[in-house]
Amino acid sequence: MSIRYLANFDLADLPQVTCDVVVAGTGIAGMYAALKLRPIGRVIVLTKRKLAESNTEFAQGGIAAAIGTADSPRLHFLDTLEAGAGLCDDAAVQVLVEEGPDCVRELIAIGTQFDKTEQGEYALTREGAHSQHRILHARGDATGDEIRRALQQKVSEEGIMVYEDQYIVDVLTDAGRCIGVLALDDHDRLTAYLARAVLLSTGGAGQLYINSTNPEVATGDGIAIAHRAGAAIQDVEFIQFHPTALYGEGSPKFLISEAVRGEGALLLNKHGERFMTEYHPQAELAPRDVVARAIVDQMRKTNHPCVYEDARAIAGVATRFPSIHAACLKRGIDITTDLIPVAPAAHYIMGGIQTDIDGRTNIPGLYACGEVACTGIHGANRLASNSLLEGLVFGRRIASALARELPPPQAQNRRFGWRSAPAIPDRPLNLLWAEIQQLMWDKVGIMRTGAELTAAIERLTQIVASLSGALQTREGYQVTNLANVALLVAQAALERTESRGGHYRLDYPRRDDEHWNRHVAQRRA
């Protein structure tokens, strides 16, 4: 993994666009940060495909914030630490829970319409590992889409430039500082976007796994890009597998929101028996890692490919969860009368590009926010509905930091480039993509062993070596990034010889605070 750039280029020969800040990604983190950065200077937002394509759009459950009368930032803080299994950064969590309510109010002020009760109060719900009802939702189970709509409209009103179909190939660095990005358009043409600062908000890496709730764009690009540039990567062994994805064919897997269990749905095995009470005192509202492993255990014990979620007793369930109701009906399942077949699927990566509480990486001029970043908030297991809040809080903090520390414009007379050695993949790219996903699911999945991780690392190392060369296409870049991030995840998982949160080792099944109450950080030599 010693290659520095994926693209062959000479900066002097490329079209160049200059601005003050480049924002890569149009999820909640990127869009909200772009709005907050607007007063600082010229902001350009680049998105891999279309403006609406991000994980934010798929968020069903809602956004967590301590705005209820019985709630407090302190309670939200304690719940986050408990879910994070001892690895949360207390200072980062404090920032999240204290600044979160104001950010949510700003989101409301720009037009986001959260659901309300008949009395005009916000209709707060509860999800797994939350001690209070603190989840705001919109249109029942379309919270992410509503937030995307409001942010997209505001970005348009503010005149912020958004360039679609711009695939970020690499971060450009000069003399140890980030100076912009290389982007590939939908005609495979490179452009250099030169900026005083770059914010990576490129989302997660759910496509590492064959069973995932993430859209096809979630190929871990930001983590791979930052790693090649020399940024520290932290805690990527912690992968959150959502317990209740709709079982069946197709990808991405349709998510049955945790809020359904928050409203009272029960989990039943093949025999119609409730089982979560055997695994955790909070039963169906236990942390996600606990529920996911319990479901896998039941699937193995009953030799059945799924378990079942029973939402029939929830009053007005079709109205409360209209998107889920409609999606299930398309598959012949009526959630008002039928059990819902569910099984775990890869959902979220807790680790990512290591940042401080103002989004700074160890590379001057490079910032990261959202799922691609690792502030230490989520520890070993993300608390449900904290992800959208994280994008708001740290997007705003990055904008505040850049208002203070954005460097003066630099002379644009740099001349440098990169020429990689040719490489021939050992299989067609589409087959390599599928192989990586199956390999990760089988050997670096919900339950892991040292032998399986070692075998995965051996094969992934071969794949990376075969890809590290002149594959000057979008598909080539994506598969290379996917393989690089898969290798980082497998290596970190092999190093952590304990079980904690989203990382479970069958050969080291216990949590080991004496030796492993610490982070695993990886950095390119």
β-pairing verdict for 239-246 and 340-349: antiparallel
Q: Return the closest-CA partner of residue 488 out of 372, 359, 369.
A: 372
Q: Return the closest-CA partner of residue 286 out of 163, 104, 127, 434.
A: 127
Q: Return the closest-CA partner of residue 394 out of 416, 378, 415, 410.
A: 378
State yes or no: is 524 an active-site residue: no
* Residue 248 and residue 223 in contact, taking contact as beta carbons nearer than 8 Å: no
Q: What angle do CA 386, 388, 391 make, to 5 degrees?
A: 105
CA atoms of 328 and 256, how far apart (whole Å): 9
* Residue 163 and residue 46 in contact, taking contact as beta carbons nearer than 8 Å: yes
The helix/strand/coil state of 170 is strand
User: b vs e for 88-112, b when ≥16 Cβ sit within 10 Å of the residue's Cβ?
Assistant: bbeebbbbbbebbbebbeebeebeb
Q: Is 175 left (phi over 0), alpha (psi -120 to 50) or beta?
A: left
Q: What are phi and psi of 57, to 5 degrees?
A: -60, -30
CA atoms of 353 and 225, how far apart (whole Å): 10
Instruction: Write down the catalytic residue from 288, 360, 397, 505.
Output: 288
* Residue 170 and residue 484 in contact, taking contact as beta carbons nearer than 8 Å: no
| CB neighbours of residue 17 within 10 Å | 17
Q: Which residues are catalytic?
A: 288
